[in-house]
């Protein structure tokens, strides 16, 4: 079994890459792929880059070129629910686009308007969160090609799809994985509340996400160990 593990930014995968044994690296189509083992399992870890196009392209490469049979996307997101708080985790039981014409997208494979996280991977992620002492829910994650950092945009997304978290890559990863028949799960540690305060902290002040990523890294490592 080969696990493909992705993040959107270097900070989201660097800690995980440091945990790998027997690493080889290859740069392909502008992305560096780290192949090695984690808890004795074969993994390929990469930083896809931000946005839906980068996420989709890298997912396809992981599957086609590196033979990934399970896809895990790990990173941060804006919180859209009162059920969890900053530093807690949303595991994508359902992943949707908040900025797409769904009735057009679903006319081609995999013919879906929304994407389901693989049940076994979702359960493994929740169990890993519990083992790591991290509060987590299995919920809905919404994806779109913009950073949500104002109350008006947040409210519009809430009205459209009622998600628990909002980010920039998950649905694209899930769509390509579903098209290829590869089980997939999206994990997101909440870094901000998807409003003006989040924009100020993450963008204007260029806040380090290291602490939040540490949470996600520990969860992914525990998942791989258990699967």
Query: Which residues are marked as active site?
Result: 12, 192
Q: Which residue has the tokens 């399992």?
A: 41
What is the token pair recorded at 68?
């990934």
User: Does residue 76 contact residue 7 with C-beta atoms inside 8 Å?
Assistant: no
User: Does residue 194 contact residue 144 with C-beta atoms inside 8 Å?
Assistant: no
* Phi-psi region at 28: left, alpha or beta (left = phi > 0; alpha = psi -120 to 50): beta
Output DSSP code: residue 142.
E
What is the token pair recorded at 81?
């629910």
User: Does residue 6 contact residue 74 with C-beta atoms inside 8 Å?
Assistant: yes
User: Does residue 68 contact residue 44 with C-beta atoms inside 8 Å?
Assistant: yes
Least Cα distance to 143 among 104, 176, 187, 97 occurs for 97
User: Does residue 182 contact residue 71 with C-beta atoms inside 8 Å?
Assistant: yes
Backbone angles phi, psi at 164, to 5 degrees: -95, -20
To the nearest 10 degrees (0 to 180), the angle between helices 210-226 and 119-131 is: 120
């Amino acid at each position: 079994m080969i696990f493909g593990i992705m993040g959107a930014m270097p900070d989201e995968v660097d800690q995980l890459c440091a945990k790998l044994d027997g690493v080889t690296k290859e740069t392909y189509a502008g992305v560096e792929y780290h192949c090695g083992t984690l808890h004795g399992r074969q993994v390929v870890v990469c930083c896809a880059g931000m946005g839906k196009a980068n996420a989709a392209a890298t997912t396809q490469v992981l599957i086609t070129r590196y033979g990934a049979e399970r896809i895990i996307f790990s990173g941060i997101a804006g919180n859209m629910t009162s059920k969890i708080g900053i530093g807690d985790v949303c595991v994508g039981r359902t992943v949707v686009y908040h900025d797409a014409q769904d009735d057009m997208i679903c006319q081609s494979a995999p013919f879906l308007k929304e994407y389901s996280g693989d049940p076994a991977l979702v359960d493994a992620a929740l169990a890993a969160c519990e083992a790591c002492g991290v509060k987590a829910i299995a919920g809905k994650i919404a994806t779109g090609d913009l950073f949500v950092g104002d109350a008006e945009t947040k409210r519009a997304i809430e009205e459209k799809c009622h998600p628990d978290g909002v980010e920039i890559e998950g649905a694209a990863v899930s769509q390509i994985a579903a098209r290829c028949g590869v089980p997939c799960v999206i994990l997101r540690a909440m870094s901000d509340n998807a409003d003006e305060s989040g924009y100020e902290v993450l963008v204007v002040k260029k806040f380090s996400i290291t602490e939040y990523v540490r949470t996600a890294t520990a969860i992914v490592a525990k998942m791989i160990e258990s699967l």
